[in-house]
Chain A
Amino acid sequence: MSSLYLTACGGSGAKTILSSPLPDAPIPTSTNIVGKVTAGYAQCNINAADLSGAPIGAEVRSNQQGDFNLDVGTHTGALLITASSCTYVDPVTNVTFVDAMFRSFVMAEDYSSTETTSDIAVQITPFTELAVRHAELVAGSEALTNTSLTQANTVFAPVFNRMGFDYRGTTPILPTDTDALTAAQDARDYGLALAALSGAGGVEGLTQDISLQGATLTEDELFGFVFNDLKDGAAIFEITEQNISGESSVELVLSSLSGNGETANTLAPIASVDNFVINVETALAPNRPIVWETLFSDSDSPDGALEYVILGEICGQSVGAMSELVLTCDVPGSYSFFVAAVDPDGNVTVIPATANINLPLTDTKASAFLMSSTFGPTLETIENLEGQGYSEWFKTQYNLPVNSILDGMGLPFADTSTSKWETVPRERWYERALLGDDQLRQRAAFALSQIFVISTSPRDLTFKSHLQAKYMDTMQNHAFGNYRDLMQDVTYSPLMGVWLTYIGNQKADATTGGVPDENYAREIMQLFTIGLVELNPDGTPKLDANGQEIEVYTNNDITELAKVFTGLWWANTPFGVGLGRPAVPDIDVLPMEMTESEHSPFSKSFLGQTVPAGLPGDQSISMALDILFEHPNLAPFVCKQLIQRMTTSNPSPAYVKRVVEAFETGAYTLPDGEISGTGTRGDLAPVWAAILLDNEALDLDRREDETFGKVREPIVRFLHWARYANVSSVEVTNDAPVRNGATTASLGQTPYRSSSVFNFFRPGFVAGGTKTASAGLVAPEMQITHTATAITHANFMATYVFRSSNQNWGGNYADALAVSGDTEAVIDQLDLVLTAGRMSDATRQRVSEVYESVTAPSDGIRLATQLIVMSPEYTTQH
């Protein structure tokens, strides 16, 4: 049993397309192409050829019913099947033609593990001919390739598989036929489908001239009933409004604006049809179905009756011919389909169309999204997001320039003075996180900084301000770049070199017995790239035959990789040993440099691969990083943690897998159909969109799932309050709590200052004895949310919430004061912006009472805010 490859499947038969070959299948001793030429055709000469045109097997002739059986022996790979010298009876005119030619292609490589003979079913129809032509267009002047066939398959196969009728037994009817509207539905559908598919070809360049390229039939003879109309009368619909995100009820308006300039002959210009509308309406409860209601009216036609067909897949559901289509859709996405329409005058139009479906952006939904994607929503950012829709929001964020922290340091590089300089980059960081418009970059860079963990806390480094600022910039610069580039810059960062002790790391010394430091080799594998155990693409661990996790490497791999990271030292400085910084200007902001004489000259074998002996140091490092980057663990290992930082502590494997796919392909289709990303593996820009726009994260029904969500990081909780309160002064150096955290008022988290390379918390942390633990969930942030930090966190927040607007880090609460006369409005605003509509009745009552317990709104809003920021609704996100 072989599966079909781009063969139409009408009525019955296998629906599989492009299933993968089984890995260990024996090559059959014989493969038969068992085919049928579609209805209306009879005997044809059937030939098979490979993509170079070389004949495979012997020619056979199909019988009166069009059936044939062609032996292609042991051939594997793509085959082009040609039916030529056919007898063709035009289904409309009943005129008989001879010498018609149609083609199809199949993949002869998909065998089960037990068969030694194999049949491949194939249909040869006008559809498959169109597909082959499309592939030829893709291939251009080159011979057909698997790539061009695959692309054709991508365009055409979904349509084939969604034909709701047996086209092999159906004769299509000319849509302009006077009997068309009363003909059998299948016949009408077939005719319209052909029109639609021709349109699909047209998308790729077959516009209105689908010549048969040497075939003996003319275009009119073959497809005349469709293409006459297409060529001569059809207008082209333009989609005038297609961004349907951000609204609860939207219209996708397809209006016919332009004809092809020749509206001659019998066909009235379809421009008269000016209200082709697909309505996407959303009812909010209980499952928020999206109802597609298609309306097609013709102002010239008193009864407005029109026939049309939509071909394609919308929201995972097949769509066929219909006079009215209603389907429920709660899966955001971009859906491509074709619309072929004929009005009562017989005018036919085929257009490609795209519908972009987002669950509607309500206020609370926008707020919840911004909790994950930024350092906290504000009224302004909620409004902006609703105006833009998700797609525009992402595109805007991607394009905002990097606001360099290093450039903002305002200190001379050579300044070696007091330790307070360490707090200056932190202050710059807070400025950007709090006030920057580039919120996605800020949040993304912060997430990355919790994988590539650095800290200046335990090392006494002069100049650490610029080391740190440079490192913060590295995270910012690559937040929408490629993970491989990030690995490169981190590896050469002198701050990382000092932190993980490989700056000045020397090759082995046989006389002293010294060996290379393993620190970086170990942590770059365990923490920065691949982790400890083999992972599936969905982030779950692979298990061996005994059900045990499989460790990726042994200590021997580490010892070998350690040899790679030898010879690096501060730039512009003779190689030294130890961690002290040489007194050379500017070296903090330059990548480390390689000293070949200190680099291990031996081969380095790890993870089953070898960096050859004698390779120069920089090349050794580059090759080693490539090996780590190419490892299949990389994407699931990194992506799952990035999801945990932004949306939920326990993403489903399917969610992880979808994000991994964005990482692996370097692409993610935004709701408006535009593709984010460069298409290069490891591109991070599409990863953020994949994380934040995944239905698992966006669907507010998730709130009813008590296992979804996460505890928000203390820094995010703090900055979210500050953004809401409209804080504008963020001096850090002289403000003890925010500087490092004081004992009695502490966040328990300071950016870029984890106590170890294991970050503030571990992705696998289970908070013992809690409900999440009992439910088998991890809760990373709970590692720094416990009985010792609970009190200091409350005091920390109170310290800042109650400051007045003229104090450092004081808020002016302008948004609340604007509606201060109306308690309900104030509380509603707090609920929307601070808890995304999740405020409990108990909290609301308390907040309302304290707000009204004082006369000055500026006091009341602070009292109310303090209650909220310590509530579970605010401190968690779900």
Chain B
Amino acid sequence: MMFNRRKFLRNASALGVASGFAANIGSFNAFAADTSDYKALVCVFLFGAMDGHDTVIPYDVQSHSQYEGIRGRLISDLDNSSEGFAPRRRDNLLELAGNGGNIGGRNFAFPEEFRPLHELYTQGNLAVIGNVGPIVEPITRTTFENGSARRPPRLFSHNDQQSIWQASQPEGARAGWGGRFADIVEAAGANSNSTFTSVSAVGPRIFLQGENVQPFQISASGAQSVDILDASDHLGSSIFPSHYRDALRNVNGDTSNLFGDDFASVNRAALDANELLTAQFALPGDPTTVMPTSSLGSQLGVIARVIARNANLGVKRQVFFVGTGGFDTHAGQPTTLPGLQADVANSMRAFHDSMVELGLSDKVTSFTGSDFGRTLTRSGTGTDHGWGNHHFVMGGAVNGGQILGNIPPPEFNHDYDAGQGRLIPQLAVDQYAASLGQWFGLSNSELLDALPGLGNFDQTALSSLFS
């Protein structure tokens, strides 16, 4: 299906049917991804849905006042935080300068916990993308409520919206857009060894699954090894280590069952990749930047170590996936969210610094994703499931220091309110992904291929995100 469609698009462009595609010069490679230099995309997924309302916070006096009024104790509980979190009062916020008041004349700020990322914003290495989420076609409150605009299925459901965000389909999807990007660069011959084309540090996630490229699940602790395998014997049996290795690889084994085959394949892939990685990690080359010891910090740390070996691993294009959870703050948001935000900011910042250290900061672009946004309304001491959310793109190649897209005012019943301040996205994830893919080197036709819904949107909406 995928390949038929790709073929069709190629043919269509060759015939000049589809306007806007590159002119046909009679060769497939002319349309293939540009993979001449090293580039990596790193998706930082915030599981559970980080409250964007409380991350890109209304800052002009009137908006902030409205915001305080609606959020009530979610703000006041932080005034004397026993956890040591900074208050969300206006004086304590970090203004996001430079958006020129083009968002309804309103201004925005980061909370204190985002200071490490605020510095990157100020330096021009981090941009804010307002109100992004999965949509099928442009949609407003009117067309949402009267049903005239198509909408994604299973809105507000964690697992399904994670899947839709990553793969345009609810749970059970077969491939994600990160994986499709990897398929394309792989097909273009970017990597001499495909083992590490796509790497997840947080288990299998549909984002990285491709039609062809198999993502490698790396352990945040680094390369792993099976005990005993490298011993000369075990319990006095000299044949055991080699037999054990054969057993793990199921050599000559016939399972006659697809589940058995899949299990054996996983074991084989794990052994092969980890042995390669073990050898590489034994060599010098790790960045010295100290990473936070949190789960996210550890994940980004091991990714940095892999990136540092890109030449030895035979890769010029890589897609990574890391993530951390706890953002589903139905209750206790004032006592939990700031800590999570601090972890995100510290971990992402340290990762950026390590890329700077490696001289790769303009070759590596990181971006956030999340199940959805949250309600503007407070429920108890927390917030509920929403839809659109604000996201962050980080890296030396990013035209930072700006807010792209839109951020609706902190009030209800505006054109992009699905109820209780659940934002109706004004930018599709497809558009967000397309701008990243374009930077990654994908052609327009390849982007349409990897992002089937992209054709319904303006593909240039985020064209100023990268130079």
Contacts and interface: CB of A to CB of B under 8 A. Distances in A.
Contacts of B239: 849-850, 853
A286 interface: no
A501 to B, nearest CB: 4
A854 to B, nearest CB: 5
A728 to B, nearest CB: 22
Interface string B192-219: 0000000000011010011011111111
Contacts of B382: 501, 517
A846 B243 contact: yes
A770 B203 CA distance: 15
Given A515-B420, A517-B382, A784-B203, A772 B250 contact: no
B250 A798 contact: no
Given A706-B258, A842-B251, A788 B224 contact: yes
Contacts of A294: none
Nearest to B155: A555
A513 B72 contact: yes
Categorize the interface residue count of chain A.
Answer: 35 or more
A486 interface: no
A786 B225 CA distance: 14
Nearest to A773: B174
A650 to B, nearest CB: 10
Interface stretch (A153-161, A338-346, A654-662, A758-766): A758-766
Given A843-B247, A871-B253, A504 B174 contact: no
Interface in A797-819: 798, 802
Contacts of B61: none
B266 A787 contact: yes
Contacts of B228: 798
Interface in A828-878: 840-843, 846, 849-850, 853-856, 859, 862-863, 866-867, 870-873, 875-876, 878
Interface stretch (B1-9, B52-60, B98-106, B268-276): B268-276
A768 B179 contact: yes
B175 A514 contact: no
Interface in B228-283: 228, 234-240, 243-244, 246-248, 250-267, 269-271, 273-274
A853 B263 contact: no
A748 to B, nearest CB: 9
A756 interface: yes
B400 to A, nearest CB: 33
B159 A522 contact: no
A60 B422 CA distance: 73
Contacts of A854: 235-237
Interface stretch (A177-185, A219-227, A774-782): A774-782
B253 A840 contact: yes
A770 B173 CA distance: 13
Contacts of B269: 787, 790
A562 B328 CA distance: 16
B270 A649 contact: no
Interface stretch (A108-116, A120-128, A408-416, A707-715): A707-715
A438 to B, nearest CB: 28
Contacts of A791: 219, 224-226, 270-271, 274
Contacts of A873: 253, 255, 260
A184 B324 CA distance: 83
A846 B172 contact: no
B286 interface: no
A765 B174 contact: no
Interface stretch (B10-18, B308-316, B346-354, B373-381): B373-381
A798 B260 CA distance: 20
A786 B203 contact: yes
A871 B326 contact: no
Interface string B311-344: 0000000000000011010111000000000000
A673 to B, nearest CB: 34
Contacts of B332: 501, 578-579
A267 interface: no
A710 B259 contact: yes
A574 B44 CA distance: 42
A856 B264 CA distance: 30
A791 B203 CA distance: 13
B325 A555 contact: no
B263 A787 contact: no
Contacts of B258: 706-707, 770-772, 775, 777
B181 to A, nearest CB: 14
Q: Which of B171, B216, B240, B259 has the most CB of A within 10 A?
A: B259
B247 A787 contact: no
A791 B226 CA distance: 6
Interface string A434-472: 000000000000000000000000100000000000000
A695 interface: no
Given A501-B331, A555-B155, A744 B380 contact: no
Contacts of A512: 72-73, 378
A872 B250 CA distance: 8
Contact of B259 (A516, A711, A862): A711
B121 to A, nearest CB: 30
Q: Which of A501, A783, A794 has the most CB of B within 10 A?
A: A794
Nearest to B381: A578
Contacts of A743: 219, 221
Contact of B238 (A841, A853, A871): A853
A744 B255 contact: no
Given A790-B270, A791-B274, A878-B259, A518 B385 contact: yes
A455 B234 CA distance: 38
A860 B203 CA distance: 35
A558 interface: yes
B240 A853 contact: yes
A846 B224 contact: no
B408 to A, nearest CB: 17
Contacts of B113: none
A767 B72 contact: no
A872 B253 contact: yes
Given A517-B379, A551-B153, A878-B260, A859 B209 contact: no
A226 B263 CA distance: 66
Contacts of B47: 756
B257 A876 contact: yes
A374 interface: no
Nearest to B254: A840
Contacts of B264: 872
A783 B203 contact: yes
A427 B264 CA distance: 31
A67 interface: no
Given A788-B217, A802-B235, A768 B262 contact: no
A722 interface: no
B330 A517 contact: yes
B380 A867 contact: no
B259 A863 contact: no
11 contacts: A519-B328, A532-B160, A704-B256, A756-B48, A768-B204, A769-B210, A782-B266, A786-B217, A788-B270, A841-B252, A846-B246
Interface of A: 458, 500-501, 504-506, 512-519, 522, 526, 532, 549, 551, 555-556, 558-559, 562, 577-579, 649, 703-704, 706-711, 743-745, 755-756, 758, 762, 764-773, 775, 777-779, 782-792, 794-795, 798, 802, 840-843, 846, 849-850, 853-856, 859, 862-863, 866-867, 870-873, 875-876, 878
Given A517-B331, A706-B257, A802-B235, 17 more contacts: A506-B380, A556-B419, A579-B332, A706-B258, A743-B219, A768-B175, A768-B210, A772-B262, A787-B270, A788-B218, A789-B203, A790-B271, A842-B253, A849-B239, A849-B243, A853-B237, A867-B247
Interface of B: 47-48, 69-70, 72-73, 153-160, 171-175, 179, 203-204, 206, 209-210, 212-219, 221, 224-228, 234-240, 243-244, 246-248, 250-267, 269-271, 273-274, 325-326, 328, 330-332, 377-382, 384-385, 418-420, 422
Smallest CB-CB A-B distances: 8 pairs: A768-B209, A872-B260, A788-B217, A790-B270, A501-B331, A842-B252, A501-B330, A791-B224
